[in-house]
Amino acid sequence: MRQYAAALDGVKVQTGNIGAARTRPGSFDALCVSYYRSPDFRGLRPSTQSARRHILERFRSVHGGKPLRGLHRQHMTAVIGAKADKPEAANHLLKTLRIVLNYAVDQGMLTSNPATGIKKYRSKGEGHHSWTEGEVAQFERLHPVGSKARLALALGLYTAQRKGDVLRMGWQHVSGDCITVRQEKTDAALLIPMHPQLVAVLASVPRGNLTFLMTEHGAPFTPNGFGNWWRDRCNEAGLRHCSFHGLRKAAATRLANAGCRVDQVKAITGHRSLAEVARYTKAADQRRLARQALDIQLRTEGEQKFVQPRYPVGQNGKQVMEIKWENFEGGGHARN
């Protein structure tokens, strides 16, 4: 990557310029300008657009003014390799660059995609920490029913939905004892039965608000604004390692611990594939199946009757067998 940078010495990096007039033709800046205006990008959901733009703009701040024609596979390998200490961030960057550089190939800005074939890092962790029952209880002790923090906790824990979907929920989405959700990420339409605990928490929420969760100024939260506010509420409870998304994992884990099948969990969380749900439930399934396996073993052992060995047991713990003459076809005397 140093050779690439040296070869392009003197090329001014354009940061944050999204207008075509401010970019050097053929540069990564120019590619981003074109991509942001394309149907490929504009057809994405706002949350996906925001996340993708955030990744691209950080890359542009360093490499934006450099010409695409000088970008090769070894440069991409170096860029991703520099993030070895942050494998998840490296994988997100690699995925985003593949998409954008494929667009560059389609537009004739590149003849091939230099990010194709580069292997992503294996995930070393489990992603967002899943709240434990003790952590939920710790949060609830500090934030009682009637507080905004407790309302947010209940919505996340008892609907198992993502932050953006929870922030849009309001009384207009309640139908009988269910709450309707149109997931922003998957576009899945869900009808989720409400847990009695959620019903109890919602009882004190005004029905005139546009959404259940409102800011101090009486407006719906933005995702970033809520994220900052929620971080403070968790920190107050001594749960600095807990996130809102971790409540979604905790909800899936509770369902798995209760004995729900993966497809039943999926019906509430709205995941598109069984494999996605399995990521959340594998630990709970392992514990439950291990307990069932031990129960079967103990039950079987209790039903079996102790049978004395055919031959006595010697001092060394081995069975001693008296071998008699008739055990052999030949002659001789067999000893123990």
- Angle at alpha carbon of residue 283, lines to 280 and 289, rounded to 5°: 125
Reduced to 3 states (helix: H, G, I; strand: E, B; else coil), residue 202 is: helix
Average pLDDT over residues 48-59: 93
pLDDT value at position 282?
Answer: 75
Q: What is the mean pLDDT of the chain?
A: 85
Give the separation between CA 169 and CA 172, rounded to whole angstroms: 8
Strands (E), the chain: 174-175, 178-182, 189-193
pLDDT value at position 126?
Answer: 65
Q: Which residue has the tokens 């860029």?
A: 79
Higher-confidence residue of 287 and 228: namely 228
Q: Please, are residues 132 and 242 in contact by the beta-carbon 8 Å criterion?
A: no
Reduced to 3 states (helix: H, G, I; strand: E, B; else coil), residue 335 is: coil
Q: What is the pLDDT of residues 192-251, one digit of tens each?
A: 999 999 999 999 999 999 999 999 999 999 999 999 999 999 999 999 999 999 999 999
Instruction: Enter the CATH code of domain 133-286.
Output: 1.10.443.10
- Range scoring the smallest mean pLDDT among 103-117, 228-242, 257-271, 319-333: 319-333
Residue 316 confidence class, pLDDT cut points 50, 70, 90: low
pLDDT value at position 308?
Answer: 52
Other Cβ atoms closer than 10 A to 5 = 15
Sorted by where each begins, the domain ranges of the chain are 2-106, 133-286
pLDDT > 70 fraction of the chain, expressed in percent and rounded? 82
Give the separation between CA 39 and CA 215, rounded to whole angstroms: 34
Give the separation between CA 15 and CA 177, rounded to whole angstroms: 51
Q: What is the pLDDT of residues 240-284, one digit of tens each?
A: 999 999 999 999 989 988 888 888 999 999 998 888 887 767 777
* Residue (of 184, 160, 168, 176) closest to 267 by Cα position: 160
Which structure tokens are listed for 70?
A: 């000088």
